[in-house]
Amino acid sequence: MTKILPQPTLVIVIALLSGLAAGLVPLWHAGDLLVAQALAARTRVVKAKKAQGWDFWTIEIDNLAAELKDEKARVAKQAEQLDLRSARVAAEQQELESLRSQVEAMRREIGEKVIEINADEAKNLRALSQTYANLSPRAAVAIIRELDDTTTVKILSLMKADTIGPIFEEMSKTATPDGTLARRAALLSEKLRLMKAAKAATSS
């Protein structure tokens, strides 16, 4: 049996092709690996850029939100202070109006407190004061309730102190829709005092 030897040229070509194939396989795998690494690196770079851009805007927005919050708080505080100031001014104005009204009332009251007895009415007033002095305090108070303050003070001014005292005491115990006649008794007492003071100043 005769062995057939391959031709030298064919053997060389086959060997070259086999070597080339054996070298291309690792090269192909290395190329795939390089491409994958390049894509991964590119993805990381893009993500990093996006992350940096988002972080940048997030910080700016947070700063702006903080500034707006601080400004809103400052405006709210100023508004609260203005409201408090307005309320204080309104309260002070109301108090001033109340004081003004009280002063005006006191002026009118003072003008009404100084009472004088005319000569032509002195005789009648003395007769009335004598009549009321002979009444019980309750009966005198019942009549005084129907008289105005000026007439009452004139009559009381002609009475003795020990007669006026029980009358005022009875007034303080006499019930009225507003409470008692104690306030009117105090007012009459003050007017009586001023009347006697003015009379004493005139005669001195």
Cα gap 81→83, rounded to integer Å: 5
**What's the pLDDT score for residue 3?**
44
CB 115 within 8 A of CB 150: yes
Average predicted confidence (pLDDT) for the chain:
76
Q: Is residue 31 part of a domain?
A: no
Q: For residue 8, is it within any domain?
A: no
Q: Provide the residue range defining the domain that includes 76.
A: 51-113
147 vs 45: CA distance, rounded Å:
107
Same domain? For 134 and 186 the reply is: yes
Predicted pLDDT of residue 203: 65
How far is Cα of residue 193 from the mean position of the Cα atoms in its chain? Answer: 46
- Kindly state the average pLDDT of the residues 35-51: 63
pLDDT of residue 1: 45
Query: For the chain, how many structural domains are there in total?
Result: 2
The answer to whether position 22 is within a domain reads: no
Q: Same domain, yes or no, for 168 and 128?
A: yes
pLDDT over 70 at 8, yes or no: no
Whether residues 72 and 136 share a domain: the answer is no
Instruction: Clarify whether residues 120 and 196 are in a common domain.
Output: yes
105 domain-assigned: yes
Tell me the average pLDDT across 71-78.
87
**78-96 per-position pLDDT tens digit:** 888 888 888 888 888 888 8
Long-range contacts from 192-199, C-beta under 8 angstroms, 24+ separation: 192/153, 192/156, 192/157, 192/164, 194/110, 194/113, 194/114, 194/115, 195/113, 195/114, 195/115, 195/116, 195/153, 195/157, 196/157, 198/114, 198/116, 199/116
pTM value is 0.42
Which amino acid does the sequence have at 96?
Answer: L
